[in-house]
Amino acid sequence: MINRIRYFFEKHGFQVSSRIGDRLGIKAMRIRLLFIYLSFFTLGLTFPIYLTLAFMAKIKDLIYTKRSSVFDL
């Protein structure tokens, strides 16, 4: 059973870039490089957004401190 599943994915899944390349008339190596560059680009975009949101949350926590009672002034 596991061998059938593996064979199915090897037959239909691992030739994605070569099939796209055949349809577009581009080498499969170029498409693989494009996928690699796009993955680094999307990671590079989301990481600064994450850091900015974390910094803003930290600033909010420093400005708005929650007091437990009226006598903590």
Confidence (pLDDT) at 32: 86
In the three-class reduction of DSSP (H, G, I as helix; E, B as strand; rest coil), residue 51 is classed as helix
Report yes or no: 16 and 31 within 8 Å, Cβ to Cβ.
Answer: no
The residue-averaged pLDDT of 15-41 equals 88
Residue 11 has pLDDT above 80, yes or no: no
Measured CA to CA, the distance from residue 49 to residue 54 in angstroms comes to 9
Of the pLDDT bands very low, low, confident and very high (cuts 50, 70, 90), residue 7 is confident
The predicted model scores a pTM of 0.52
Residue 37 has pLDDT above 80, yes or no: yes
